[in-house]
A and B are shown apart, each in its own frame.
Chain A
Amino acid sequence: MKKAQMKIQEMAFVLLALVLLAIIGFIFFLKLSQNKLVESATDIKTQTTLSLLEKLANLPELECYCKPSCKANCMDKDKINSLKTMLQTNKNLESLFQGLSSLKVKQIYPPENEIVIYTSRTPSNASSYQTFINLCQYDTGRYTYDCNMAMIIAKGVS
């Protein structure tokens, strides 16, 4: 083999190595970008879910009165019990929970049994989502709310 041919071959190998290196680097970069993309997609999904849960907690049929002051993400225990009773007799009210297969509230501290507000007739295997709220009961003697930490748990239709 001539010297010039050797040189060309050497150059070709070096170029090949460089191209391979660049490809590996690019794949690595893509992998990193993909991870970031997945993470931001999860963040957006979480935010959407949380805002839906907050909307449910702030339904006029369930939220606390603005007495003595308005509270965000506050559910009135008496309103919940009333709505539960009304749901048993008036099936039209179920339209409030369209798109949900169940809605529950669970007091965390002090721990208490969960209150099932709504369950659809068709069971669902969809995942459930939850966020922290206040479960309050109006004290008619002191004209103020007694509140405890709770979670609102919603399950979508599959």
Chain B
Amino acid sequence: MRLSPINKKGQEEMAGFILIIIMFIVMGMAFLFLAKPRLETKKDLQAGNLLNSMLESTERGKTVGENIEFCVSNNIQNQECRDTFDGVSSRLNAALSSSGLVLNRTLLGYVFNATSGMTSRLISNGTLMGNSLTAISPKGKAEITLKLYYP
């Protein structure tokens, strides 16, 4: 089929218009991809100091870290182990509420996790969303992680 010169020109204009629209869509998507806030998990020195300070505290003649390792690696759930994990929770709450300047950020919540083999103990508080700072401390057979969430 032969197209008249007027029709052909119209088709070219349409093609150009569609091309421009496609270019705009691609550029817009690229901008949106760049602008999208990415949730980050960073290893943080201050969070590390907080975790180590808690694990090196002493209770019942041993460090909290040693007690946690004992409870988690042997999967013990007696009163002493419950007291140990209650102590962890109280220490973290006290540390995070003691100063608004902690980590220079407003914290939303935290997750404390002690793992050894298939056993793990989890303590969490507050909102667990947003960016996070982590600290990891290996204690004997157990690995202890603290994750702090901020907006």
Contact = CB atoms under 8 A, between A and B. Distances in A.
Contacts, number: 75
A108 B90 CA distance: 10
Interface of B: 20, 24, 27, 31, 34-35, 45-46, 49-50, 52-54, 56-58, 61, 63, 90-91, 94-95, 98-99, 101-102, 104
A133 B91 contact: no
A148 B50 CA distance: 12
Nearest to B102: A130
Nearest to A17: B20
Given A132-B53, A145-B58, A151-B99, A32 B35 contact: yes
A155 B2 CA distance: 85
A134 B92 CA distance: 14
A109 B94 contact: yes
Contacts of B54: 132, 149
A142 B58 CA distance: 13
Q: Is the interface of B mostly helix, strand, loop or mixed?
A: helix
A149 B35 CA distance: 40
Given A111-B94, A131-B46, A145-B58, A150 B53 contact: yes
Given A109-B91, A151-B98, A21 B27 contact: yes
Interface string A46-59: 11001000100000
B75 to A, nearest CB: 27
Contact of B49 (A108, A111, A133, A144): A133
The range of chain A's interface size is 20 to 34
A100 to B, nearest CB: 17
Interface of A: 14, 21, 25, 28-29, 32, 42, 46-47, 50, 54, 71-74, 106, 108-109, 111, 128, 130-134, 142, 144-151
A147 B56 contact: yes
Given A73-B49, A134-B57, A108 B98 contact: yes
B66 to A, nearest CB: 12
Nearest to A110: B94
A-B residue pairs, 4 tightest by C-beta = A132-B53, A132-B49, A109-B94, A132-B50
